[in-house]
Chains A and B, each alone.
Chain A
Amino acid sequence: MHPSPDIGIWIGGLLTLGIFSFLYGDNPYYKFCEALFVGVSAGHWFITLFWTVFIPKLLGNIGIAIHTFRTEGFAAGMSDYMHWSYIFGGILGFLMILRLFPKIGWISRWSLAFVVGTTAGYYFINYLVSNGLMQIQKTILPLTSVGNIILVVGTFCGLIYFFFSKEHKGAFGGLARVGIWFLMITFGASFGYTVMSRMSLLIGRMDYIFGIWLGMIR
């Protein structure tokens, strides 16, 4: 056994055990680690956004705009004026922060509306094309192999199942039933993969505890 001499690894190991202590029951050790996790996560987001968005994008572009105006005045080209647009982006962003103040929080709806409108506009096209039309296109297959038949029948019957505007009776109900079978296989496969994922994560932590921290695994 060769425990790590790095105090940081020991801190990491103790924090790991703190989270795992929840398995025995909720306790102050776990609560401490959980509270610390929330704080450092918020800190990491704060710093990352500060150095990757606010400084280079917001202040950087406004700085370029000011510099361009000082050197070229109104003779600057259209693309240079685009740098000024970041001021409006900054204002819209600042309006979002005003949500913290109940009396004037209503104005954050303008920024929210912009975000919702952007998302709705993109999603309308993207989901229609990528997740709708392209998937349907690739489901139109010649029924010349078992695989193709499975894909066509499975997709069609699965969609039939999700159509709740018509009662699932008779032939329609029969097709919906076939759809359920395919969906059960889908969910079973998803469950299998989910188990795989969770176990992988635990393997990583065990390797950290017994390998990196305690040095018991070569």
Chain B
Amino acid sequence: MGFFERLLKIDRRIIFTLIGIAIALPLFFNVSMFVETTPVVKGVYEVVESLPEGSKVLVSFDYDPGSMPELQPMAESFFRHCFSRNLKVIIMGLWPQGPLQANWALDVILNEPDIKAKNLRYGVNYVNLGYTAGNEVVILRMGSNIHAAFPADYYGTPLDDLPIMKGIRNFNNIDFVYNLSAGYPGTMEWVQFAADRFHAVLGAGNTAVQAPLMYPYANTGQLVGILGGMKGAAEYEVLADRPARGVRYMFSQGIAHAVVIFFVILGNVAYFATG
């Protein structure tokens, strides 16, 4: 068997090992990389920057721990941005894991010194409405009456008892909707219901698998912007001038991509060499 034939028949566990090393090794080196920002990410950032103090931002956590490395850094930097601009944040989830992911992000951001100094209070500056079943029908219900979709918050407190929810009946009372999505239900449903039916201003943070599917919506203006994958998270951190996990992972991400490209080229060279 020739060299290229042996190469084609290589045990896949060797490939797995090489991939594992390519991903893990860069994490040991604290390499800071330049992250270019793109117009689609700037779209989301600039909308948040333009919101006056006290504006109401609805954040929908539509993902589970499987998508955490991509979406959690986005959630954290978005929260940081909103709280530093004194915006009111209303959290919800169309996935049952979403509200817990939100609490995770809140715990990180609310303990940062500059945010902690603001003495933000639950029910006044932010609230977690939790999860409710119904997928996109929940968004539709929120369009007529948010209190009917969420009679109480995640901890059972009636919405009428929460100061932040006073005067909020539907999307007309929400200044910006930001959706973190890993699949269904997610950004597409938010575009179809919240943006198109109820004319909400909508931005999205998507996993890299989903991001290409959302570009037509950004092109039409149904979405003001998209954060796509870990790169999107890194871009938002750079725009907000607070590099964190997203930026830190970029070195590893780059090496991983280079390794995959190398494997594709090597596989093709071996394939064509063996005729």
Contact = CB atoms under 8 A, between A and B. Distances in A.
B256 interface: yes
B43 interface: no
B125 interface: no
Interface in A169-196: 186, 189-190, 193-196
A203 interface: yes
Nearest to B70: A200
Contacts of A52: 96, 130-133, 154
Query: Interface size bucket, B side?
Result: 35 or more
Interface stretch (A3-11, A68-76, A95-103, A129-137): A129-137
Nearest to A134: B220
Q: Is the interface of B mostly helix, strand, loop or mixed?
A: helix
Interface in A194-218: 194-197, 199-207, 209-211, 216-218
**Which interface residue of A23, A197, A218 has the most chain B CB atoms within 10 A?**
A197
B102 to A, nearest CB: 13
A130 B195 CA distance: 9
Contacts of A137: 220
Nearest to A93: B133
B23 A202 contact: yes
Contacts of A189: 212
Interface in B93-137: 96-97, 130-133, 136-137
Contacts of A45: 96
Interface stretch (B49-57, B169-177, B226-234): B226-234
Given A23-B16, A126-B193, A204 B69 contact: yes
Q: Across chains A and B, which 6 residue pairs bring their CB atoms closest together, nearest first?
A: A204-B69, A197-B208, A48-B96, A199-B256, A126-B192, A138-B220
Interface of B: 13, 16, 19-20, 23-24, 27-28, 30, 66-70, 96-97, 130-133, 136-137, 140, 151-152, 154, 156, 188, 191-193, 195-197, 207-209, 211-212, 216, 219-222, 228-231, 249, 252-253, 256-257, 260
Given A23-B13, A195-B260, A203-B249, 11 more contacts: A44-B96, A53-B133, A126-B192, A126-B196, A193-B208, A193-B228, A196-B257, A200-B229, A201-B67, A203-B27, A206-B252
